[in-house]
């Protein structure tokens, strides 16, 4: 059945609120490529939104999932536990930053991990307030909508939202007049101290590099200063590494680039090699503050997803995908920089590892150019390159290739992008 025919069926069956970036339907995918049902090949610069870091249908993941579904698909860890859940928690404890004693708990999605991190922080501190940042994205459930900054499409007419969420200014080097990390942190801390009050803050929640908000890399020093303030105030510092985690930025976690050790880390996406699984990992005293039975869910740490996660981590270790992400940065970022130098409509090329972006502006200004961004993305799609946009202003083109993408696929993707920028 062709994409066109599937699209017709979809219109009569799938709710309009769920939309897709492209109108082609996938037949199969692997490495750095997708093939649609019409027989067209695509180069993948999306990874299903930073999920298939190990590649799509990665061999180890496929084998592990196959083996597990034949043994058992579900017992519920809260009813009858199994080894792989424990093993995934052990891996999370080993891989997340921080040499202190840790515990972990597993969930199904990023939003669910964030919700649980907030539950844990509130329980452990006995305080209500959660501090989040401009441009933040943390999910689409009621609490995480409140934590997410952008109204369209995420929050519009979906309120009322959960209370006790306070938003403070982010470090956004292109848009904050060149504040240093320390200055930007002082600006945020001032708002917290004046408007929330140190003793009320349960958690400070931040993406070390913002994802949906525009691939915003804070100025150096910003994250350490916020983490330090948080510690001093007795608040739980939570790094949302759902998009940045699992080798994406050239290390296991983006927090490592600035040497910060979050009290709690939320993970999902890349963790499961394509299967839905998420985690909250962090300081044992905070995690274990919660009473027995206070955390859980029917499917959290489902055995098939756990098998996939263990295989994905093994693949990352075996292929050294953190190094692969650094190589992708070395190959892509200079070319994106050259494109920016030759195109006054590109305000900045930025990012880390295989989490890279260009931000489009009206020439000579920092005024966002969302119209061109959409046009460039469409031109890429027409030429067979799957790219995504993001940003509060919808003016950022982001590049998230699977970490196993070949140099040839990377170069061909870049050539398509160059062509699209030349015409759109």
Name the residue nearer to ligand PLZ (CB basis): 296 or 419: 296
Nearest to 174 by CA among 355, 30, 334, 346: 346
Residues 6+ apart with CB under 8 A from 309: 88, 91, 271, 272, 273, 275, 277
Name the residue nearer to ligand PLZ (CB basis): 34 or 340: 34
User: Please, which of residues 158-217 interact with ligand PLZ by CB under 6 A?
Assistant: 207, 211-212
Q: Are 130 and 202 in contact (CB under 8 A)?
A: yes
Calpha distance 61→309 (Å, rounded): 8
Of 77-85, 138-146, 285-293, 369-377, which part binds ligand PLZ (CB under 6 A)?
A: 138-146
Residues 6+ apart with CB under 8 A from 70: none
* 265 touching ligand PLZ, by CB under 6 A: no
Tell the smallest beta-carbon distance from residue 101 to ligand PLZ (Å): 26
Q: How many helices (H) and strands (E) does the chain have?
A: 13, 15
Structure tokens at 178: 């060149």
The full DSSP string for 266-280 is EE-GGGGTTS--EEE
Angle (nearest 5°) at CA 342 between 338 and 347: 85
Exactly one of 55, 98, 110, 272 binds ligand PLZ (CB under 6 A); that residue is 110
Name the residue nearer to ligand PLZ (CB basis): 105 or 361: 105
Name the residue nearer to ligand PLZ (CB basis): 44 or 207: 207
Size of the site for ligand PLZ (CB under 6 A): 16
Of 54-62, 109-117, 126-134, 414-422, which part binds ligand PLZ (CB under 6 A)?
A: 109-117
Sort strands 201-206 and 26-30 into parallel, antiparallel or unpaired. Answer: unpaired
Tell the smallest beta-carbon distance from residue 348 to ligand PLZ (Å): 20
Name the residue nearer to ligand PLZ (CB basis): 306 or 346: 306
* 286 touching ligand PLZ, by CB under 6 A: no
Tell the smallest beta-carbon distance from residue 126 to ligand PLZ (Å): 25
Calpha distance 349→135 (Å, rounded): 18
Interface positions with ligand PLZ (CB under 6 A): 49, 109-111, 114, 137-140, 207, 211-212, 240, 242-243, 268
């Amino acid at each position: 059945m062709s994409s066109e025919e599937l699209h017709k069926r979809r219109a009569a069956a799938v709710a309009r609120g769920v939309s897709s970036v492209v109108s082609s339907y996938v037949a199969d995918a692997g490495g750095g490529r997708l093939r649609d049902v019409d027989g067209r090949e695509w180069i993948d610069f999306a990874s299903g939104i930073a999920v298939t870091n190990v590649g799509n249908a990665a061999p180890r993941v496929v084998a592990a999932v196959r083996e597990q579904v034949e043994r058992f698909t579900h017992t519920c860890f809260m009813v009858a536990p199994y080894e792989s859940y424990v093993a995934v928690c052990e891996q999370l404890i080993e891989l997340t930053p921080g040499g202190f004693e840790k515990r972990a708990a597993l969930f199904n999605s990023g939003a669910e991990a964030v919700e649980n991190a907030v539950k844990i922080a509130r329980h452990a501190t006995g305080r209500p307030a959660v501090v989040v940042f401009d441009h933040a994205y943390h999910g689409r459930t009621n609490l995480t909508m409140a934590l997410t900054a952008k109204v369209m499409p995420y929050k519009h007419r979906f309120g009322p939202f959960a209370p006790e969420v306070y938003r403070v200014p982010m470090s956004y080097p292109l848009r904050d007049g060149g504040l240093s990390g320390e200055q930007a942190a002082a600006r945020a801390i001032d708002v917290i101290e004046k408007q929330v009050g140190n003793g009320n803050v349960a958690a400070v929640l931040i993406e070390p590099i913002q994802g949906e908000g525009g691939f915003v890399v804070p100025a150096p020093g910003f994250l350490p200063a916020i983490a330090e303030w948080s510690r001093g105030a007795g608040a739980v510092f939570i790094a949302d590494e759902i998009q940045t985690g699992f080798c994406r930025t050239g290390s296991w976690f983006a927090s490592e680039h600035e040497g910060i050790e979050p009290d709690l880390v939320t993970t999902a996406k890349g963790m499961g090699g394509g299967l839905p699984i998420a985690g909250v990992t962090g300081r044992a005293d905070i995690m274990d503050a919660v009473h027995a039975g206070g955390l859980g869910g029917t499917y959290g740490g489902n055995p098939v997803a756990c098998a996939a996660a263990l295989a994905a981590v093994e693949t990352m270790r075996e292929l050294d995908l953190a190094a692969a992400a650094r190589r992708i940065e070395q190959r892509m970022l200079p070319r994106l920089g050259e494109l920016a130098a030759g195109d006054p409509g590109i305000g900045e090329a930025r990012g880390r590892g295989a989490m890279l972006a260009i931000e489009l502006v009206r020439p000579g200004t920092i005024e966002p150019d969302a119209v061109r961004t959409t046009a460039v993305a469409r031109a890429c799609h027409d030429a067979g390159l799957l790219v995504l946009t993001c940003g509060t202003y919808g003016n950022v083109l982001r590049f998230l290739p699977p970490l196993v993408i070949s140099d040839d696929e990377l170069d061909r993707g870049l050539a398509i992008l160059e062509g699209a920028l030349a015409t759109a």
